[in-house]
Structure 1
Amino acid sequence: MNMKKSLFKKIEPWAITVVVIAIFIWAFSGIPLTGIKDTARQVFFSIMRGLFHPDWSYVYTGDGEDLVSALLETLAIAFLGTFISAIIAVPFAFLAARTNAKLFAPRSAFGKLLLTIIRVFPELVLAIMFTKAVGPGAYAGVLALGFHSVGMMGKLFSEAIENVDHGPNEAIAAAGGSGLDGLALATFPDVLPEFMNYTLYRFEISVRSASILGIVGAGGVGAPLIFALSTRSWSRVGIILIGIVVMVTVIDFISGQIRKRLV
């Protein structure tokens, strides 16, 4: 028996290596490598020139069609899509959380399956669907980000609920409290900081996602970016990219500082 275990340990790393290499070969064999276009070098250097010679006049014009307005719309889409979905995700999280030691919990299994189905659709696919349903604009972007965020945050929230310390709940029950008392006085205060932490982290991701939703007509700074790329207005492309980088960096810094105080 020990010889079999020893032999298995010896061949295990090699077996894993062979499987990983086989997966890589299979993956690359299904990708048609068409090479790099002749215009790629020209486009790259054009974008770089735009970054070093941005169109500063586009930053603010006061007509609502400038970079500041587009960035503010992007932030509004990310904010609404994230924080409204964070509230909606809470009941889904309690539905999916496994709160007992049974091997199979139908309620939890159904909740996890539901959240998985919601997470299947990427934001861009949802944005395309919602632009067809409600028309192009920021509203479609909010719906796309919100729908996807419910699935993501519901999963994270449910894991936080599963890892909560059950001692305070048992103490409340022993003192004659109800299950609702335990939820309000023990479970929810315990998981609330983690809920806020996950929400802020998701907001950071949503800001990045909202920056490209405009490419498919869902509002935000993506729309002027794809238009500038299409018209080869490289100085306009440069200032939009600079604006996105600055916005994402500032949001990441502020969110990081808030999350440090919550944890």
Structure 2
Amino acid sequence: MILKEVKKTTWAWSCLFVLLFLFAMMTLDYSSLSTFSLTLGQEVIRGLSQPDWAFFYDGSGEDLFSLLLLTLAIACLGTMIATICAIPITLISAANLWQSAPWVAKFGKTFCNILRAFPELVYAIIFVKIVGPGPFAGVMAIGVHQVGMLGKLFTEEMESMNDHLIEEVQAVGGNFWQTMFFVRVPYLAPIYSSFALNHFEIAVRSAATLGLVGAGGIGAPLIFAIQTRSWSKVSIILLGVVVTVFLLDQLTGIIRKKLR
């Protein structure tokens, strides 16, 4: 009987997925395919296969190496700000810390949901208007968005902690702050550090695109190169981003293993 119910549920979801797929296929606008040019495609591929190595470093401060360092700096500072700001928000959002006033935790979680509802690009456009174009706008965009992301993750880990550890300290007379600093912090610090490192990787990818709206980083020369069809420059920029993300992924992966 249970197997029949499972099969019915599986078939229902499968049919729903097929219907959504067909609906999407029928509602898409395919008129842009009329402008497809095989010659232009070959030109793009040919240009991408010939990276402009002269753009890698020329000492001007506007070369690939310098802009990648700027992108890493934007991501690093934004993630650090988000990590620091997410901790007090976690203390407000964790329901197990506010059992006598559950509305406080609901307020904190709603605040996190609002912050992470908008992508970094939207925040970047807003901060470019507020503080002007430049790296600081990118830092603020990443920081504000990731406060919501890290706040949610930190809160979930705080709420899923083993209560027996807290109860043992309270049984010997430990108060709230003693359990916080001698139990919760040592237990959660490696987990929170791992989350922060993971979001630093994500921030690097985001910072690489924030330059599209004037928030600093490698995004601005990338969009200019695409608009002017300088495919060799596009190629070296994309290659630099891919290598940077790969090396960063390997490094943070090693650090996360050490934290476990």
Q: Indicate whether the TM-score tops 0.5.
A: yes
Residues 47 and 238 in structure 1, CA contact (< 8 A), matched pair in contact too: no
1: CA distance, partners of 2:141 / 2:73: 13
What letter corresponds to residue 217 of structure 2 in structure 1? G
- Residue 77 of structure 1 deviates from its aligned partner by 0.5
| Structure-2-length-normalised TM-score | 0.92
The separation in 2 between residues aligned to 1:97 and 1:28, in whole angstroms, is 43
CA contact (8 A) 2:98 2:104 kept: no
TM-score (norm 1): 0.91
CA contact (8 A) 1:82 1:202 kept: yes
Asked if 1:160 is matched to 2:195, the reply is no
Distance 1:26 1:200 in 2: 40
Measured on the aligned residues, the alpha-carbon RMSD in Å equals 2.1
Instruction: Give the SS at the match of 1:258.
Output: helix
Q: Does the C-alpha gap of structure 1 residues 254 and 47 become closer, same or farther in structure 2, counting only changes over 3 Å?
A: farther
Q: Distance in 1 between matches of 2:40 and 2:81?
A: 40
The residue aligned with 1:213 is 210
**1:114 and 2:116 correspond:** no
Task: Check if 1:12 corresponds to 2:33.
Answer: no
* 1:9 Cα deviation from its structure 2 partner: 4.3
Instruction: Find 1:253's aligned residue among 240, 250, 253.
Output: 250
CA deviations over 1:85-112 (Å, ceiling 9, x no partner): 111001112222221797x932222211
Distance in 1 of aligned mates of 2:105 and 2:187: 20
Q: CA deviation at 1:59?
A: 1.0
In the alignment, the residues of structure 2 paired with residue 92 and residue 31 of structure 1 have an alpha-carbon distance, to the nearest angstrom, of: 42
Following TM superposition, by how much is the alpha carbon of 1:118 offset from its aligned partner in structure 2, in angstroms? 0.5
Residue 36 of structure 1 aligns to a residue in which SS?
helix
Count of residues in Structure 1 that have an aligned counterpart in Structure 2: 259
Return the alpha-carbon distance in structure 1 between the equivalents of residues 40 and 226 of structure 2. 10
Q: Paired residue for 1:74? A: 71
1:150 corresponds, among 147, 152, 167, to 147
d(CA) in 2 for partners of 1:215 and 1:37? 28
Gaps of 5+ in 2: none
The one-letter code of the counterpart of 2:20 is: I
In the TM superposition, residue 42 of structure 1 has moved relative to its aligned partner by: 4.2
Tell me by how many angstroms 1:53 deviates.
1.6
Q: Judge conservation of contact 2:98–2:105 (CA < 8 Å) in 1.
A: no
Q: Which runs of 5+ in 1 are unaligned?
A: none
Distance 1:24 1:142, change over 3 A: same
Letter in 1 for 2:120: E
- Percent sequence identity is 44
Could you tell me how far apart the structure 2 residues matched to 1:141 and 1:43 are?
A: 34
